[in-house]
Amino acid sequence: MKCHRSFCNAGKRHEPGAMDLNGYMLSALFDKTASRFILALLIFCPINVFAADTWSYHQEIRRLNNETYSFAQSPLPPRGLYDYIRLEIICKGNTLQVAIDANSLIASQGRTFDFEYQIDNAPPFTLQMTTFKDTKRRGYTEEYAQRIVNDLLTGKSLFIRVTTMIRKVLSAKIPLENAAKSIKQVVTDCSLGLSDNATDEPDYTLSEFQQDFDKLPSGQQQQVLRKLKIIMESQKAM
């Protein structure tokens, strides 16, 4: 009976030297292939992919009219703690927009929905955004874009909530430490200015004042409140 070559070879014993040589060749081939793969990742993957916790600035071209637009994109919130939501500051056609990009359905195309944001410990602000005409997962506002941008540039942390069409609340916490450079570049692209408070970071923020005030003894807190009352009364008299 004839034996198939593969089965016959399987029954033969290999010399130890041949096995070592084959193993060495396979190992060398694997190392070479892995090195090429890693090198390709370093070359072709954008640098900002690895810096996932920072804001980034981008310029792209619309294929329909070859129009160049720019946007600053926030990092994604920590996985498992919040929903998949990005915030984008966009300059398109010299118009400033603030947009959100979610992984969940928000509302039908071209429909409004509630969007709430909070900077540090300041009171939250609620407004209405509108979904783009070609998606149910992205929304924007132009009316409040300037205000949002000014607020972003004065804080250290952003917390947002989105109420979807089925009354589900999506939330995310986004850092603002590295946001200023990218956001200001987009504002410059739109030939817009920033408010005095947004141009330079304030020397002493409201959230810092509240934290320091809570650390004071009750007697010193009363002294601070009395001084604030005097300032407010003098402002009313003007």
27-51 residue pLDDT tens: 554 455 544 544 443 334 443 333 4
Q: Are 105 and 158 contained in the same domain?
A: yes
Please give the radius of gyration of the chain, using alpha carbons only, rounded to the nearest integer: 29
Number of other residues whose CB lies within 10 A of the CB of residue 195:
13
Q: What is the pLDDT of residues 98-121, one digit of tens each?
A: 999 999 999 999 999 999 999 999
Q: Are 30 and 146 contained in the same domain?
A: no
Q: Are 142 and 26 contained in the same domain?
A: no
Is 214 contained in some domain?
no
Q: Are 168 and 59 contained in the same domain?
A: yes
Q: Are 139 and 35 contained in the same domain?
A: no
Report the DSSP pairing between strands 125-131 and 85-92. Answer: unpaired
**Domain range for 27:** 15-44
How many whole angstroms from its chain centre is CA 141?
A: 17
**Structure-model confidence comparison of residues 155 and 1, the more confident one:** 155
Q: Are 24 and 94 contained in the same domain?
A: no
Is 205 contained in some domain?
no
Q: Are 29 and 60 contained in the same domain?
A: no
Number of domains making up the chain: 2
Q: Are 39 and 58 contained in the same domain?
A: no
Is 176 contained in some domain?
yes
Q: What is the pLDDT of residues 61-84, one digit of tens each?
A: 887 778 889 999 999 988 778 999
Q: Is the pTM value of this prediction over 0.85?
A: no
Q: How far apart are CA 238 and CA 236, in angstroms?
A: 6
Task: Provide the strand spans (E) within 40-111.
Answer: 56-61, 68-73, 85-92, 95-102
The CATH number of the domain holding residue 86 is 2.60.40.1880
DSSP letters, 151-191, are HHTT-SEEEEEEE-TTS-EEEEEEE-TT-HHHHHHHHHHTT
- Looking at the predicted structure, is the pLDDT value of residue 90 above 50? yes
Q: What letter represents residue 158's amino acid?
A: L
Give the mean model confidence (pLDDT) for residues 128-140.
96
Q: Are 72 and 170 contained in the same domain?
A: yes
Share of the chain above pLDDT 90, in %: 50
- Looking at the predicted structure, is the pLDDT value of residue 182 above 90? yes
Q: Given pLDDT bands bounded at 50, 70 and 90, which one contains residue 4? A: very low
Q: Are 91 and 180 contained in the same domain?
A: yes
